[in-house]
Amino acid sequence: MNRKILLDEKNIPRQWYNLAADLPNPPLPPLGPDGKPISPDMLAPVFPMNIIEQEVSTQRWIDIPEEILDILYRWRPAPLRRAVYLERYLDTPAKIYYKDESTSPPGSHKPNTAVAQAWYNKQFGIKRLTTETGAGQWGSALAFACALIGLECKVFMVRISFDQKPFRKLMMQVWGGNCVASPSTETQSGRAILEKYPDTPGSLGIAISEAVEQAVNDPSGTTRYSLGSVLNHVMLHQTIIGLEAKAQLRSIGEKTPDIVIGCAGGGSNFAGLAFPFTADKINGAEIEIIPVEPSACPTLTRAPFAYDHGDTACMTPLLAMFSLGHDFVPPPIHAGGLRYHGMAPLVSQCCVEGLHKPRAIDQVECYEAALTWARTEGFICAPETSHAIAATIQEAKKAKEEGKEKTILFSYSGHGLMDLSGYDAFMSGKLTPYSLPDEMLEKTEACLKTHPQAPIRKSGKW
Ligand SMILES: *Cc1c(COP(=O)(O)O)cnc(C)c1O
């Protein structure tokens, strides 16, 4: 039995998989301020046209340029590992595999799309990228990609993380990026928020508004904005995770997994692993596919499916997705990367269809799972990743109760070596169970009330 299943470089996937080609009901179109579907050229001040083409593409397979692969080879193909030590500890008949995305230089799955986005922007003649970051993983991934490709990188970092996580900021600086706390005084949207709420911890939505504003206001026209999750092209770039995992499972004669799990903030690492298997499910395979979110930010499990903005200042188009409301300021739980108010439209549509079955887990159970993981497998996972591990442990225990030898595959989205303060808070008893209070969902309703209705379309097959 192999604990590490490695794929030879020559067998790296050479195309990304686009789920939009196979969904029975493709996601609803984004809407502009007039409530009508936006046209691709309306996005042109924000993204380069080659990325916009991918965003709206319904082509099933899209070639990965050789120059992008040349950068990805630094850590890809990523190992698929078998968590035998956790299996023994749980005494489960389940086989647990995980795709190890923590081996990239910035330490998460995020460079898979950061590299692709930086490359397409460079091709289009762009000189500078702006973006937002929560816990700092996306900002560091984009700074890393820009350094390798030769672009300037400006990062608006959510204030609370900027203060709590100085090391991510330093990583960005090592790669030559410029990182400021958001809300900042550099943009109109930042200044407006600071005037109203001078002590705000910030949020991803606010930071997105600042980054978009700075990109579209560059008079030279050579700045664009880059988003680390949520959008279709980001999901596309991440599918290399699931495509590699499939090839690796095949190489050891393992069957299609019974259960596929990933933590979901904006949905990209989950989608990256899950979409190639979602295609199998659409074609008849029996797979349980589970996005896992914190009970403190229960977008998929408790929020409505609605049209909403991706940012607080309502600069982005309306996206059809599950949303807690664009003005949602989540409680400062430690899994910073899972605090976004919305969810990728493609993942949202899969949940509407019943192809994906979302689950919310409390932060205390997640940190307990992270400690179990560290004390069996040995690795220290990112707080976000602990949600996937907690769900995996739940499923492995269930397999034991049912006496079934199930195959579980999950996404190990990143390591936690930059997030030890979260572990500290947990181990010193400062973290208590926290589920979003119902009053907060009333605010969500009020926030979404004036937007056009997003019709629920499902085939009824799942
Ligand atoms: C950013 C991040 C996430 C959440 O983002 P998704 O787009 O939902 O994948 C999860 N895990 C890690 C380690 C991250 O850095």
Task: Looking at the structure, tell me whether residues 191 and 213 fall in a common domain.
Answer: yes
Cα 285–Cα 287–Cα 289 angle in degrees, nearest 5: 140
Residue type, 330: P
In which domain, by residue range, is 420 found? 65-107+232-448
Cis-peptide, bond into residue 198, ω within 30° of zero: no
Tell me, yes or no, whether 457 lies in a domain: no
Query: Which residue owns the Cα nearest ligand 1 atom 3?
Result: 337
Tell me, yes or no, whether 458 lies in a domain: no
Closest atom of ligand 1 to 141 CA is 15
CATH number of the domain that 334 lies in? Answer: 3.40.50.1100
Tokens of 29: 């179109």
Tell me, yes or no, whether 247 lies in a domain: yes
- The pLDDT of residue 340: 85
Tell me, yes or no, whether 454 lies in a domain: no
Query: Which residue owns the Cα nearest ligand 1 atom 13?
Result: 414
**What's the gap in Å between 164 CA and the centre of ligand 1?**
18
Task: Looking at the structure, tell me whether residues 76 and 219 fall in a common domain.
Answer: no
Strands 128-133 and 223-225: what pairing?
A: parallel
Cα 188–Cα 212–Cα 168 angle in degrees, nearest 5: 100
Q: Which of 103, 110, 300, 366 to probe ligand 1 with, by most ligand atoms within 8 A of CB? A: 110
Task: Looking at the structure, tell me whether residues 338 and 440 fall in a common domain.
Answer: yes
Query: Which residue owns the Cα nearest ligand 1 atom 10?
Result: 384
**What's the gap in Å between 384 CA and the centre of ligand 1?**
6
**Residue where one domain finishes, among candidates 207, 225, 243:** 225
Task: Looking at the structure, tell me whether residues 288 and 309 fall in a common domain.
Answer: yes
How many domains, in total, are found in the chain?
2
Query: Which residue owns the Cα nearest ligand 1 atom 15?
Result: 137
Residue with tokens 């023994």: 88
**Residue where one domain finishes, among candidates 164, 192, 225:** 225
Q: Which of 204, 413, 415, 419 to probe ligand 1 with, by most ligand atoms within 8 A of CB? A: 413
**What's the gap in Å between 228 CA and the centre of ligand 1?**
9
Low pLDDT (below 70) residues in the chain: 332-337
**Residue where one domain finishes, among candidates 225, 249, 276:** 225
Q: Strand 359-361: give its sheet, edge to edge.
A: 4-5, 80-82, 95-100, 407-412, 259-263, 288-294, 359-361
- Residue 381 has what DSSP assignment? B
| Cα 113 to Cα 415: distance, rounded to the nearest angstrom | 18
Q: In this predicted model, what pLDDT tens digit does every residue of 72-84 receive, in sequence order?
A: 999 999 999 999 9
Tell me, yes or no, whether 140 lies in a domain: yes
**What's the gap in Å between 387 CA and the centre of ligand 1?**
11
Burial degree of 29 (CB within 10 A; 0-12, 13-18, 19+): middle
**What's the gap in Å between 268 CA and the centre of ligand 1?**
7
Contact between 318 and 31 (Cβ < 8 Å)? yes
Tell me, yes or no, whether 8 lies in a domain: no
Q: How far are the Cα atoms of 25, 152, 337 from residue 183, in angstroms, in the given order?
A: 38, 21, 18
| Cα 357 to Cα 394: distance, rounded to the nearest angstrom | 14
Q: In this predicted model, what pLDDT tens digit does every residue of 155-185 receive, in sequence order?
A: 999 998 898 888 999 999 999 999 999 999 9
Closest atom of ligand 1 to 338 CA is 4
Ligand 1 neighbours, Cβ below 6 Å, are: 108, 110, 137-138, 229, 263-270, 337-338, 382, 384-385, 413-414
**What's the gap in Å between 462 CA and the centre of ligand 1?**
27
| Cα 302 to Cα 359: distance, rounded to the nearest angstrom | 10
Closest atom of ligand 1 to 101 CA is 13
Task: Looking at the structure, tell me whether residues 368 and 415 fall in a common domain.
Answer: yes
Residue with tokens 């949520």: 230
- Residue 309 has what DSSP assignment? E
Task: Looking at the structure, tell me whether residues 47 and 144 fall in a common domain.
Answer: yes
Task: Looking at the structure, tell me whether residues 424 and 345 fall in a common domain.
Answer: yes
Query: Which residue owns the Cα nearest ligand 1 atom 7?
Result: 268
**What's the gap in Å between 135 CA and the centre of ligand 1?**
10
